[in-house]
Amino acid sequence: MKTIAIIATGGTIAGTGQIGKASAYRAGEIGMDEIIETIPMIKDMAHIQVHQIMNIDSNEMNNERWLLLMKTINKVAQDDEVDGIVVTHGTDTIEETAYFLTLTLHTLKPVVLTGAMRPATATSPDGPYNLYQAIALAGHPDAYDQGVMLLFSNTIYSARDIQKVNNYKIDAFDQKSFGCLGYMQDDQVYFFSKIFKKHTQHSLFSHMEIDHLPEVAIVYFYAGAHASMLYDLSQDHEGIVIAGSGNGNYDRSWLEAINDLSEKGIIFVRASRVIQGIVLSDEIFDPHHYCISANTLSPQKARILLMLALLHSHQREEIRKIFHQY
């Protein structure tokens, strides 16, 4: 039998509330050992190691906790007995954690994140089934060197492209234009595509010693938004990601502020508040090429890549190259 390490961080999968109800609960209340007891078939699938490193609502996730999680997974992955790793996590920020991990983990062993939309005390919680499938996926040979994955509702997603697209339904995730990596039927794994962008041991960041992350903010453009927000943020941030309209757009007052602050050394990335499509560079809109295009990354993922890229370089052209590769 395979050995799978479960690294538990909390979330709705460990949430409790009124017995039977799916609403009005608190995330991150019960331990992983208790959840595992509700899934009897696990003991026939794999030897399980449990590492409960925190038990939080994922809205409490932050840079320090990402570094702790990354270091824990890297250490666990070094154990020759461990074949794969499952991370349980709240769904609200799971996509950010997944992208951070796929950029920084120094292992090719399968790493699968999962969670739940219904708490453990609901009438039919989705967490135990997602966990059962995540364990099967983490122990499957086809899951090796796929980058960090997410398993949700019978579907295998890539950390780079996953996004929470529904805050109410159980089938809450999607990879937008890119479909999914594959499907599962109970413990059977069916892969159909592979991530093309750099990840895990192929990523530059997985070879770096990372002990802190630079400050990078996201600012949302809307009709009439004041450019003064950009000046305020530039006081204590090295980089700013714009969640622009349409193709990562904004008005002339923002354009002037971005040009001015870029000349003072702030690195700007243009992402879009639109969920699908691609933000590419635009000669007319940004003639000086001050802004780096986020391509298909959401603003919250562009922020993670910019934080890591700033650890490597402050050269705009070097960071632009990184945004093409990851």
- Name the residues that contact ligand SIN, by CB under 6 A: 11-12, 27, 57-59, 90-92, 115, 117
CB of 92 to ligand SIN, least distance (A): 3
Q: Which residue is nearest to ligand SIN (CB)?
A: 90
SS percent in the chain: helix, strand, coil, step 5: 35, 25, 40
Least gap, CB of 28 to ligand SIN (angstroms): 6
Known active-site residue 12: yes
61 phi and psi, to 5 degrees? -65, 145
Question: Which residue is catalytic, options 3, 9, 12, 38?
Answer: 12
Please report the sign of the dihedral spanned by the C-alpha atoms of residue 138, residue 143, residue 148, residue 151.
Answer: negative
What separation in angstroms does the CA of 270 have from each of 216, 225, 242?
A: 13, 16, 5
Would you say 86 or 279 has its CB closer to ligand SIN?
86
Name the residue nearer to ligand SIN (CB basis): 54 or 274. 54
Cα 233 to Cα 219: distance, rounded to the nearest angstrom: 9
Least distance (Å) between residue 14 CB and ligand SIN: 9
Whole-number minimum distance, CB 65 to ligand SIN, in Å?
12
66 by Cβ neighbours in 10 Å (0-12 / 13-18 / 19+) ranks as: buried
- The nearer residue to ligand SIN, 166 or 325, going by C-beta atoms, is 166
DSSP 15-43: -EESTB-SSSEESS-S-HHHHHHT-TTHH
Buried b (16+ CB within 10 A) or exposed e, 253-287: ebbebbeebbeeebbbbbbbbeeeeebeeeeeebe
Q: Closest distance between ligand SIN and the C-beta of residue 140, in Å?
A: 25
Q: In angstroms, what is the minimal distance from the CB of 1 to ligand SIN?
A: 29
CA atoms within 13 A on the CB side of 253: 11
Q: Which is nearer to ligand SIN, 11 or 239 (CB)?
A: 11
How far apart CA 112 and CA 143 sit, in angstroms, is 9
Shorter beta-carbon distance to ligand SIN: residue 168 or 211: 168
In angstroms, the CA 174 to CA 172 distance is: 7
Between 17 and 147, CB nearer to ligand SIN: 17
Question: Residues with catalytic annotation?
Answer: 12
